[in-house]
Chains A and B, each alone.
Chain A
């Protein structure tokens, strides 16, 4: 059954939603499960959104997973507190919603399943038996919303400390520090926190000994040189062999999703820079694209091309950081200094164009903050001429080195199927030979205009993950070269009332523009109630922003799906039976930053 769009929605919205509601898959789903399929929600997500009763959730998930062209990846799973939402016309009664975003590589298509939840019965069945990576997502939802997942193997807090009370992403949970009592930590409090972090193997179903000899439980992190941030792994060791391990995250949690509910659509942009803090403006991209979908803004060609160019610059600087630390993790001391030199050259270009280095927050709703400065071509061309020989050098000195090969080949290898099961995306997925790059498969933001190849690996091991990123840098250079050669003329911001801040040139000439400018700077833009979603191929994998607008100046819910989160969850499945040095090599090859995991 498909929902007729409201009279208020624009034509674009109506077209997109009608098309999705009538997809054969949704018809089949409706036919199969009848009245338990509650409705098809019209949204701007570009994904069919189907509400189903919690009772048939596992059946629907199992069915979608085992289709002819299966939805092989649970791309995202999170929840929404519906209690304060005023625009819910036509949606089933719900106090909370849990949504499941599934992705099919074969179909190159997605589906989102939503489950309504009543406040008095906060429980849904767990799907971690169907999609293994649901485990952490469900723990996160329990932690932040207090929704129970029945039959979950280990439903404990994941993001917040184990001693925490309350569920922060609920709407009735305050977001401001001033709404809390002043924070203090006593010695007893500290001891209690410390004790709560002690690892108890029995809680994880781990044995303390085998055949009369004890295992060593080694706490690797949250402070460890190779943990790439505040990341903790508890290893169950037999000698140096890893019998099992438990990753523990949450030490870098800043509540980015909660902050989005208090910032205006515009003023949230700088927070996105700090999600994957090595990705710079790459983080702005999915956010502003999603906001532009809500606002109905079409971005001028020039702005699109500038955005692609800067995003690719950041892909290169991020990959350079990866390459240096990846080699350092396998004991090569020098490459990191060379890649940092290159990275600095990249930052000189970025700084020249955006005025900032790591977190420029440079994209705007409807365009970019400024036009390109005079002489930018020369600046960018200098970098483009510098990089290729350096990349060749890294490849010939390090990747052909016998010790590097010995340390990385067939280490922590996994297949495409395993990668999909665990929600692995980006270069780590492509290293298994799966050709799935959103820039090619679902071009966004102007990527359809560029000519580049998608490098693929074959073994899915540490070596392939390293090699692939060197090749990706070459492809990014190609894209940037095309930007330099064919930069369109025109505006760097859309001529649209919701563009924020609106073009300043006309501001002082028309009173109407001045008023609009004043409002959109002081309040920020007001977006119509709807939902939108944008997935992009970010530096570390697929990053997406799923925005829910309730018709206000702020987002009602901002869900940030980051690639690093599932990548860390996958670690135990590939590390069992490996050695500590293999684990370190694997950690280096994942390319994660903790800010991207914890948000």
Chain B
């Protein structure tokens, strides 16, 4: 057993942990499709899916069976390579971004010194999935979705990064663990309230959740960029969106609400509660708001959110320098 060195053991444990986190995230993403429908049902005075299994708990299984066995159709007018690549990219980029999230003091996949930058890079990469999917579909509605998605992502990523720079300035680090530990005294929601507001908006926009679901906009574009997708390729876009939701919720919890920090309860419970709260918030927003017009979304991003983040960054910088 001379190959079983402490290094190998650490690597195996890390890999096992990573695998567990991967499974939990993917499973949670899939479960959220059902949870969302049940919650929407609750808020909309109806039942939602409640037929499969006790209280509809096996709905996910039924959906999975259905989506796996649907005809996996690639339109003859599509660009095959890009068409197949896009859904994988959608899922992979968001899953990869998850490696920077510190779940508890002992759990987390990677401790990157460029943690936040890595997330921004992956979020930037994610737009290619929508862009390529929409473009490769050879469908005008999909193309509109792709154009909207890229324009929206470009606009909102600008201040998404900037909205987090206040935190970086305060902690002096991109490392997520250090950011969490820096919040032991005071959660960053207080000093970085405007950073929180703009990051929340940008987060919704980047995951294409309502009311920033312009690339899909069912009423206008009839599902937009993934209108030609079926079966598990559609499933990857679909679950990818929920993984994105989990990611943004986990990031908000980590960056502004002290991550795993909290009294009495174990860290993992605190982390789960905070993330869960924002997941509910995402769903509630979808249930309650109409969709603004696309050009208004863009002007809101450039004319309101961007100046706000810049002012926030300036003030934070001044405070860090002077105090």
Contact = CB atoms under 8 A, between A and B. Distances in A.
8 contacts: A218-B140, A226-B219, A240-B295, A331-B289, A337-B46, A407-B291, A580-B221, A581-B294
A403 B288 CA distance: 11
A227 to B, nearest CB: 10
A155 interface: no
Contacts of A225: 218-219, 222
Interface string B105-145: 00000000000000000000000000000000000110010
A387 interface: no
A337 B45 contact: yes
A224 B293 contact: no
Interface in B141-163: 141, 144
B292 interface: yes
Contacts of B17: none
A338 B288 CA distance: 12
B244 interface: no
A407 B292 contact: yes
Given A240-B294, A333-B210, A581-B293, A224 B43 contact: no
B290 A403 contact: yes
A327 B111 CA distance: 46
Nearest to A341: B45
A468 interface: no
Interface residues of B, number: 27
A407 B288 contact: no
Contacts of B38: none
Contact of B288 (A334, A580, A581): A334
Interface string A217-231: 011000011100000
Interface of B: 40, 43-46, 140-141, 144, 210-211, 217-222, 286-296
A338 B290 contact: no
A398 B221 CA distance: 23
Contacts of B45: 337-338, 341
A240 B217 CA distance: 14
Given A225-B218, A329-B219, A338 B44 contact: yes
A331 B217 contact: yes
Interface residues of A, number: 29
Nearest to B148: A240
Given A337-B44, A337-B46, A581-B294, A403 B219 contact: no
- Nearest 10 CB-CB pairs, A to B? A331-B291, A332-B290, A337-B44, A331-B290, A403-B290, A226-B219, A581-B293, A330-B290, A334-B44, A403-B292
Interface in A417-460: none
A127 B75 CA distance: 47
B219 A331 contact: yes
Contact of B287 (A329, A334, A404, A581): A334
Contacts of B287: 333-334
B50 to A, nearest CB: 15
A81 interface: no
Contacts of B46: 337
A259 B41 CA distance: 43
Contact of A332 (B141, B217, B221, B289): B289
A489 to B, nearest CB: 40
Contacts of B221: 580
A328 interface: yes
B290 A407 contact: yes
Contacts of B291: 330-332, 403, 407, 581
Contacts of A332: 288-291
Contacts of A327: 290
A224 B45 CA distance: 27
A60 interface: no
Contact of B219 (A334, A398, A406, A584): A584
A403 B43 CA distance: 20
A484 interface: no
A333 B220 contact: no
Contacts of B295: 240, 579
Nearest to B290: A332
With a 10 A CB-CB cut-off, give which of A218, A338, A581, A584 has the most chain B CB atoms: A581
Contacts of A330: 219, 290-291
Interface string A394-414: 000010010110110000000
A514 interface: no
Interface in A357-409: 398, 401, 403-404, 406-407
Contact of B210 (A216, A240, A331): A331
Given A331-B289, A581-B217, 12 more contacts: A225-B218, A225-B219, A327-B290, A329-B219, A331-B291, A333-B40, A334-B44, A338-B45, A403-B292, A407-B290, A407-B293, A580-B144
